[in-house]
Structure 1
Amino acid sequence: MLAAYWPLGLLAGATWILTATLFRISSLSALVASAAAPIYAFALPLFVWAYAPMPVVILAAATAALIWVRHAENIARLLKGTEPRIGAKKG
């Protein structure tokens, strides 16, 4: 996202960092940031000068969908409460 449209990439990256800091779960952070990116793309013109072109909005939505599909196992572990936390010992 950063290469496609840097303001959106920075917002999504900041969302990932904030979520990872709060919850210490990388997959949750990726899911939250990816879900937020298309929303940010629509909301950017309301708050700042930045305008996300429609192809960027579509890219953000498609990327979010792909991330959610690819994280199916992580989502199952999140729901069970067994998803490992960032910095947790393995084993």
Structure 2
Amino acid sequence: MNSSLPLAVLTDSGFAATNAAALVIGYLLGSIPFGLLLTRAAGLGDIRQIGSGNIGATNVLRTGNKGLAAATLLLDAAKGAVAVWIARYYLGETPAMLAGLAAFIGHIFPVWLGFKGGKGVATYLGVLAALAWQCALVFAGLWLAVAAVTRISSLAAIIATIASPVAAWVLGDADLAAVVALMSLIILIKHRANIERLMAGEEPRIGSKT
């Protein structure tokens, strides 16, 4: 993708409208709180009232329902991928990247929940899979390896997140690398409390109730 578009193109009203549409589509899809909806439908109450208080799959797992946790993971990833696919099909590649970024942000800051959502890892993976499957493989492989050895979800996510922009850069796409790097930075910021607990040796392991 050409990252040095002429100023006339960047300021074109049609170009701006296309990108705005991609951002809106992505954000609305990303802000669907599947973890909250699924746990409520299963009669497990408000997932925000247990564990970490997040709406993602790791916290859903703390309910003891592995099926719901898996469904949350898949749906949170799917909404990121679907946002990219819709924008790519109707609007083009640059809007697809913007839609993916917006879906990721929508999951973390959903308007329906007072802008308090999850940490974005599953949606991040879905966006990666739709934009560049190679980056998604790097992320998933590292996450699984670290999680299998340490059984600490946050550590696995942090390491995989750091590696993903490097994988995008290796692919030679500067625009992709920039988008992935921005999402990675946001994930690391959202995990700052986890990083503090990791350094103190107090981070809970996968499947724990705390």
TM-score by length of 2: 0.38
Deviation at 1:76, TM superposition (A): 0.9
Q: Is the counterpart of residue 65 in structure 1 residue 185 in structure 2? A: yes
- Conserved? CA contact 1:26–1:86, under 8 Å: yes
* RMSD, aligned CA: 1.4
Deviation at 1:52, TM superposition (A): 4.4
The CA deviation string for residues 20-43 of structure 1, in whole angstroms up to 9 with x for no partner, is 111110000110000001112233
Give unpaired runs (5+ residues) of structure 1.
Answer: 44-50
The number of residues matched between the two structures is 83
Q: RCO greater where, 1 or 2, for CA within 8 Å and sep 6 or more?
A: 1
The CA deviation string for residues 22-78 of structure 1, in whole angstroms up to 9 with x for no partner, is 1110000110000001112233xxxxxxx3421110111111100010001111111
Q: Per the alignment, in what secondary structure is the counterpart of residue 84 of structure 1?
A: coil
- Conserved? CA contact 1:5–1:52, under 8 Å: no
Quote the Cα distance in structure 2 between the aligned partners of 1:70 and 1:18. 22
Residue identity matched to 2:191: H
State, as a whole percentage, how many aligned pairs show the same letter. 35
Give unpaired runs (5+ residues) of structure 2.
Answer: 1-127
Q: Per the alignment, in what secondary structure is the counterpart of residue 130 of structure 2?
A: coil
Q: Is the counterpart of residue 34 in structure 1 residue 161 in structure 2? A: yes
Structure 1 segment 1-91 matched on structure 2, within 5 A: 1-43=128-170, 51-88=171-208, 90=209
TM-score by length of 1: 0.82
Residue identity matched to 1:37: S
Quote the Cα distance in structure 1 between the aligned partners of 2:174 and 2:169. 9
Q: Are residues 4 and 53 of structure 1, via their aligned partners in 2, closer, same or farther at CA, if it must alter by over 3 Å?
A: same
Quote the Cα distance in structure 1 between the aligned partners of 2:190 and 2:172. 25
- Report the structure number with the largest CA radius of gyration: 2
